[in-house]
């Protein structure tokens, strides 16, 4: 059988180019108000990855057969194996290739915890933005990918996503006030002191079989991504509202264990209301519930693209 050679339509860099031409530092977790620890991740924890790229502009032009009139963009994206419909992109950094120097580009990639899980893929791209003087063998079309690489991080093992229990609400009238509810979020006693995986429980009503199937990790359809995102939004909204109604939660003197449900919810509350103290957030929830709900909805509700 004849071997087919795969020849790219234009000059581009290999996935592992010489370091003197392009060097990409390892991805790092950026600490901060909206950053989290990937080793203690759950869907309430937001992540922010950062890395730096060093590019020799003259060597890059030569390797990709581009002119000094060319412009490129560097950016990062993330995706997850949970679904094909959840992904995100960081800010693009555009670079003119009209100089002979080595530059450093910083990339930042924020990721909402509610949108990811399973295996997280971090993609880095260098893309052509403009080429006014096309060279033989060089890319001509804006959007042409001149270099890309992908790394993966395992956030959770299969089956560890959320403490979800599927039951028929009609069978437990003493536990579920409305037998027709789609789901119920329950914080166990002292749950804010515990890890999210044991500090709360999520019950799905088995009477809504279509919904149960949609939020199954085995379903990667757009409908599944949409239903799951709506469920996570409502769970997050309920948990935040319940937390800021708690006097202990709003007491800045009280310290929750690192990685606990209370610790995660405080980080989320501070991100949602960066200019307010914990007592002020609690007061806003009591005195202006509509404004509180609007802010939470605007920040937490994201639709899959």
Query: Residue 6 domain-assigned?
Result: no
Query: Residue 305 domain-assigned?
Result: no
What residues contact 209, with CB distance under 8 A and at least 6 apart?
none
Task: Specify the length of the chain in residues.
Answer: 305
pLDDT at 97: 95
Same structural domain, 26 and 145: yes
Among the listed residues 89, 82, 83, 81, the one whose alpha carbon sits nearest the alpha carbon of residue 111: 89
**Domain assignment of residue 130, given as a range:** 22-154
Same structural domain, 149 and 209: no
pLDDT at 34: 45
Same structural domain, 111 and 184: no
| Three-class DSSP category at 181 | coil
Digits of tens for pLDDT over the chain (305 positions)?
Answer: 455 555 668 899 998 999 999 999 988 876 444 444 555 555 656 788 899 999 999 999 999 999 999 999 999 999 887 655 567 889 999 999 999 999 999 999 988 766 666 678 899 999 999 998 888 889 999 999 999 999 888 665 444 456 677 888 988 888 888 999 988 888 888 889 988 877 888 888 888 888 887 776 555 677 777 777 788 888 888 999 999 999 999 999 999 988 788 988 888 888 888 889 999 999 999 999 999 999 888 877 665 55
Q: Which two tokens stand for residue 228?
A: 């799951």
pLDDT at 192: 92
Same structural domain, 28 and 139: yes
Among the listed residues 224, 44, 49, the one whose alpha carbon sits nearest the alpha carbon of residue 116: 44
What residues contact 248, with CB distance under 8 A and at least 6 apart?
192, 254
Same structural domain, 188 and 82: no
Query: What CATH number corresponds to the domain at position 66?
Result: 2.60.40.3880
End-of-domain residue from the set 154, 178, 198: 154
Query: Residue 5 domain-assigned?
Result: no
Query: Residue 149 domain-assigned?
Result: yes
End-of-domain residue from the set 122, 154, 186: 154
Same structural domain, 97 and 73: yes
Same structural domain, 170 and 263: yes
Count of the separate structural domains present in the chain: 2
Query: Residue 97 domain-assigned?
Result: yes
Query: Residue 10 domain-assigned?
Result: no
End-of-domain residue from the set 105, 135, 154: 154
Same structural domain, 128 and 203: no
């Amino acid at each position: 059988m004849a071997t087919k050679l795969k020849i790219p339509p234009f000059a581009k860099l290999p996935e592992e180019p010489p370091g003197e031409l392009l060097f990409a530092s390892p991805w790092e977790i950026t600490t901060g108000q909206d950053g989290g620890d990937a080793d203690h991740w759950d869907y309430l924890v937001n992540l922010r990855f950062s890395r730096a790229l060093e590019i020799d502009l003259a060597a890059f032009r030569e390797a990709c057969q581009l002119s000094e009139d060319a412009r490129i963009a560097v950016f990062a994206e993330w995706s997850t194996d949970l679904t094909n419909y959840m992904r995100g992109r960081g800010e693009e950094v555009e670079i003119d290739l009209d100089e002979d120097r080595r530059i450093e580009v910083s990339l930042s990639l924020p990721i909402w915890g509610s949108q990811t899980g399973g295996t997280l893929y971090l993609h880095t791209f260098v893309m052509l933005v403009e080429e006014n003087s096309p060279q033989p063998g060089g890319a001509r079309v804006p959007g042409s990918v001149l270099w890309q690489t992908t790394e993966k991080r395992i956030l959770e093992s299969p089956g560890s996503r959320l403490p979800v229990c599927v039951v028929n609400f009609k069978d437990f009238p003493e536990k579920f006030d409305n037998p027709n509810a789609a789901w119920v979020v329950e914080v166990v006693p002292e749950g804010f002191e515990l890890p999210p995986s044991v500090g709360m429980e999520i019950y799905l009503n088995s009477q809504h079989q279509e919904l149960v199937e949609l939020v199954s990790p085995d379903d990667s359809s757009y409908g599944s991504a949409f239903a799951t995102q709506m469920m996570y939004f409502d769970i997050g909204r309920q948990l935040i509202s319940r937390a800021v109604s708690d006097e202990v939660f709003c007491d800045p003197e009280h310290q929750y264990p690192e990685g606990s449900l209370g610790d995660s919810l405080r980080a989320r509350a501070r991100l949602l209301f960066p200019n307010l103290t914990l007592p002020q957030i609690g007061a806003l929830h009591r005195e202006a519930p509509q404004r509180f709900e609007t802010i939470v909805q605007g920040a937490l509700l994201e639709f899959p693209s």
